[in-house]
Amino acid sequence: MAGAAAAESGTPLWAIVAVAALGAVAGDSVSFWLGRRFGTDVIDRWRWVKLRWAPRLRRAQHHFERRGGLSVAVARWVGALRAVVPVVAGTAGMP
């Protein structure tokens, strides 16, 4: 997709890849910071999220505390988990 966007817009491919990488790093960093700064309050603020996802979040935090970086590495390859890994890692207190 990046190649098609570069060809269509006349933008160098390296610039599109660089901007996409920066966006991914920035998004993960902000999510991790929110989890680290606010802890489980991030989840507790929204009642529907708290009722539905709180038990799963607690299990994920426990798993991250037990397995550490391996959990993060594996979860990054699972599409459904990719977006929530940084915030859960932050709430688990990972460095």
Longest dimension (CA), the chain: 48
Band of pLDDT at residue 93, cut at 50, 70 and 90? confident
For residue 26, the model assigns a pLDDT of 95
pLDDT (mean) for 5-13: 84
pLDDT (mean) for 27-37: 89
For residue 31, the model assigns a pLDDT of 86
Q: Per the confidence metrics, is the pTM higher than 0.75? A: no
Q: Which of 30, 26, 29, 35 is nearest to 90 (CA)?
A: 35
Domain residues for the domain of 69 are: 2-91
Query: What's the structural domain count of the chain?
Result: 1
For residue 92, the model assigns a pLDDT of 77
Least confident of 11-15, 64-68, 85-89: 64-68
Secondary structure element (H or E) that encloses residue 51, with its range: helix 47-67
C-alpha distance from residue 20 to each of 1, 16, 76 (Å) = 12, 6, 17
For residue 18, the model assigns a pLDDT of 92
